[in-house]
């Protein structure tokens, strides 16, 4: 029997499959479709200090082999998430979850981390650093190594949980940001977030998204995500959660061979809500075909 278990900063997961943030809400709707306890874990919707309505619509556009989204971090705010979602999550999910937090200032990241610290069911804090720093001239935290390190240091100083920094792919050299986060104390990294893209409605002669631009995800980005996971694995020692366009068991194995210790699945979940279940069922079959006894053995094997 193939051993599917993997480990992230002392947390053992039954398998490496984790629905990605923003594509699985807080899990409740999916729990009506299948027993979500088969998952390794899941990363819940990115949460900010204040409630956010997100961007005006239209904020989703289809593309060939992918999708654009400009949801704009719609969420009820960390206090409501703690009160209305996390307080009841253990009724339908009995494993540790990943808390995805966002912020527009260092203080906001610290606030959210302190709120999450006391939630027993949270195993890992995943820090999305793709937001503009409103007090730092509007530059995204995630596109500047110094700012990325600053967020990492601030969150690590208050966090009681392992901290994974979620990297933006919209940078010239992702390894520089990854290294800066590791040096600042990150316990792990998640990559990639969406790639900045755009579409135009040629009949209206206007951008399709009200926000004009949006984040591209889905199968189209898989080779880019894989390349970035591969490059980052070469320069850091901390574990990586790989994501971006993963939609099959073979993709999961490929992502792990590039260096991912666990694999998140986003857009594919929106297209087929059962995809994570199907991949978990398919993984041992695919692994056996490739003579893999334990998934832990293949992490980073593609590196010479």
Ligand X SMILES: Cc1cc2nc3c(=O)[nH]c(=O)nc-3n(C[C@H](O)[C@H](O)[C@H](O)COP(=O)(O)O)c2cc1C
Please say whether the beta carbons of 38 and 277 come within 8 A: yes
Distance CA 270, CA 133 (A): 29
| Residues identified as active-site | 131
Nearer to ligand X by Cβ, of 2 and 196: the residue is 196
Please say whether the beta carbons of 57 and 70 come within 8 A: no
Which residues, numbered 56-95, are part of the site for ligand X (CB under 6 A)?
A: 69, 71, 73
Which residues, numbered 127-146, are part of the site for ligand X (CB under 6 A)?
A: 128
- For position 266 contacting ligand X by CB under 6 A, the verdict is yes
Nearer to ligand X by Cβ, of 154 and 215: the residue is 215
- Exposed e or buried b for every residue in 7-30, given b needs 16+ CB within 10 A? ebeebebebbbbbbbbbbebbeeb
- For position 22 contacting ligand X by CB under 6 A, the verdict is yes
- For position 166 contacting ligand X by CB under 6 A, the verdict is yes
- Exposed e or buried b for every residue in 168-198, given b needs 16+ CB within 10 A? bbbbeebbebbbbbbebbbbbbbbbbbbebb
What would you report as the CA-atom Rg of the chain, rounded to the nearest whole angstrom? 18
**Strand-pair partners of 43:** 98
CA angle, 81 as apex, 79 and 83 as ends, to 5°?
A: 70
DSSP classification of residue 287: H
Please say whether the beta carbons of 94 and 86 come within 8 A: no
Please give the residue whose beta carbon sits closest to ligand X in the complex: 22
Residue from 99, 112, 228, 267 touching ligand X (CB under 6 A): that is: 267
Residue 266 CB, nearest approach to ligand X (Å): 2
Question: Looking at 146-154, 174-182, 249-257, 259-267, which segment touches ligand X (CB under 6 A)?
Answer: 259-267
Which residues, numbered 233-252, are part of the site for ligand X (CB under 6 A)?
A: 243-246
Residue 19 CB, nearest approach to ligand X (Å): 9
- For position 154 contacting ligand X by CB under 6 A, the verdict is no
- For position 261 contacting ligand X by CB under 6 A, the verdict is no
x-marked contacts with ligand X along 280-299 as a string, rule CB under 6 A: --------------------
Residue from 48, 147, 194, 211 touching ligand X (CB under 6 A): that is: 194
Residue count at the site for ligand X (CB under 6 A)? Answer: 25
Question: Looking at 10-18, 250-258, 262-270, 289-297, which segment touches ligand X (CB under 6 A)?
Answer: 262-270
Nearer to ligand X by Cβ, of 3 and 65: the residue is 65
Tokens of 85: 């979602």
**Strand-pair partners of 101:** 47, 127
Distance CA 18, CA 262 (A): 7
Residue from 48, 193, 211, 261 touching ligand X (CB under 6 A): that is: 193
- Residue numbers at the binding site for ligand X (CB under 6 A): 20-23, 45-46, 69, 71, 73, 100, 128, 166, 193-194, 217-218, 221, 243-246, 265-268
């Amino acid at each position: 029997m193939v051993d599917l278990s993997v480990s992230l900063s002392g947390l053992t997961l039954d398998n490496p499959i984790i629905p990605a943030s923003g594509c699985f809400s807080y899990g409740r709707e999916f729990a009506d479709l299948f027993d979500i306890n088969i998952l390794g874990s899941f990363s819940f919707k990115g949460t900010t200090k204040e409630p956010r309505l997100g961007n005006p619509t239209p904020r989703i556009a289809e593309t060939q082999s992918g999708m654009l989204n400009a949801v704009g971090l719609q969420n009820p705010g960390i206090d409501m998430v703690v009160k209305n979602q996390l307080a009841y999550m253990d009724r339908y999910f009995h494993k540790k979850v990943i808390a995805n937090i966002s912020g527009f200032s260092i203080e906001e990241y610290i606030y959210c981390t302190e709120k999450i610290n006391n939630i027993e069911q949270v195993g890992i804090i995943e820090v999305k650093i793709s937001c503009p720093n409103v007090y730092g001239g509007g530059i995204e935290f995630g596109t500047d190594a110094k700012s990325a390190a600053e967020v990492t240091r601030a969150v690590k100083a208050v966090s009681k949980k392992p901290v994974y920094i979620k990297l933006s792919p919209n940078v010239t050299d992702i390894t520089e940001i990854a290294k800066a986060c590791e040096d600042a104390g990150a316990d792990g990294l998640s990559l990639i977030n969406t790639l900045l893209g755009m579409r135009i409605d040629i009949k209206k002669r206007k951008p399709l998204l009200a926000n004009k631009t949006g984040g591209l995800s889905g199968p189209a980005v898989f080779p880019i995500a894989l390349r970035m996971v591969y490059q980052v694995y070469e320069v850091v020692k901390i574990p990586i959660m790989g994501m971006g366009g993963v939609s099959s068991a073979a993709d999961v194995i490929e992502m792990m061979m590039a260096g991912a210790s666990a694999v998140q699945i986003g857009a594919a979940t929106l297209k087929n809500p059962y995809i994570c279940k199907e991949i978990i069922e398919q993984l041992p079959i695919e692994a056996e075909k490739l003579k893999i006894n334990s998934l832990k053995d293949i992490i980073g094997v593609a590196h010479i």
